[in-house]
Amino acid sequence: MKSETAYWDSYRNRIRSKAGGFTLRGDVTLRGNDLIEYIESHSYFQVLMLAVTGRHVDRNIADWVEVLFSCLSYPDARIWCNNIAALGGDGKCSVVGATAAGIMAADSDLYGSRPILGSMAFLEQAQREFENGQSVAQIVEHQVRLRKGKFSIIGFSRPLATGDERLELLRSKARSLGLKRGRHEDLAMSIHEYAQKEHGESINMNGFIAAVSLDQKFSATEVYQLSAAAVLSGLGACFVDYLDRPIGGFLPLRCDDVEYAGPTSRSLPDR
């Protein structure tokens, strides 16, 4: 009879890897490829995508993913994750600590990389409904009814702004790099046009990435994993911006900036 602990016993004192590894002879493999040879003819983003997805992607797809990372490089310390990096620089903590904290802050259901999971799930469902005969209007209005009359489709609105200044760049780069417009992008842009006309909302970067990623046969999990550190450039910029300033210069508070709502002043007893 097979032991109940057979699986864990097989891993005792050993590491089994599908990703690859390094030998003392100097051999390095990544997903079955000689890593050193692979690096000679492939970009960093091709290496990253091979590591995460387990398959080789052509240079044009990897270059488009690099554009996505660049589009998340806003050096604005008001952005949630950058706020933390700037605070880390202000407090003179390590760049690694500030960066790690900033990346964790970007792992949010409302912004950053995690919403791609919801965007891709919505578009996959919408594509099935569309192919089963539902119109774009029916798909959108059903989502509005689910939210009690509020337009809040993930990937097709922004919390603090209308429209997305990065959309045209992403579209033009996709075309110039040879990524053909597929059925998910077609549907996403139709939803975008309907949302603009009927609800004053529009597709954002997240929604467009979701559509193109589905057309390129990437799963939501893969895209989420690939974008784990996509905010890195913005974090670095905000960290360095406050690193050489006097401590306490990032959003300092005076005592009278704090609104006290506790008990009124009272005297302490003698004993």
pLDDT score recorded for residue 1: 53
- Domain ranges within the chain, ordered by starting residue: 18-57, 64-109+229-246, 115-226
CATH architecture of 115-226: Orthogonal Bundle (1.10)
pLDDT score recorded for residue 269: 86
pLDDT score recorded for residue 268: 86
Angstrom distance (rounded) from CA 80 to CA 78: 6
pLDDT score recorded for residue 112: 83
236 contacts 100 by C-beta, under 8 angstroms: no
Residue-wise DSSP of 238-251? HHHHHHTSPTT-SS
> Which residues lie below 8 Å from residue 264, measured CB to CB, with a gap of 6+?
none
The alpha carbon torsion through 126, 127, 130, 134 (nearest 10 deg) reads -20
**Which residue ranges in the chain fall short of pLDDT 50?**
none
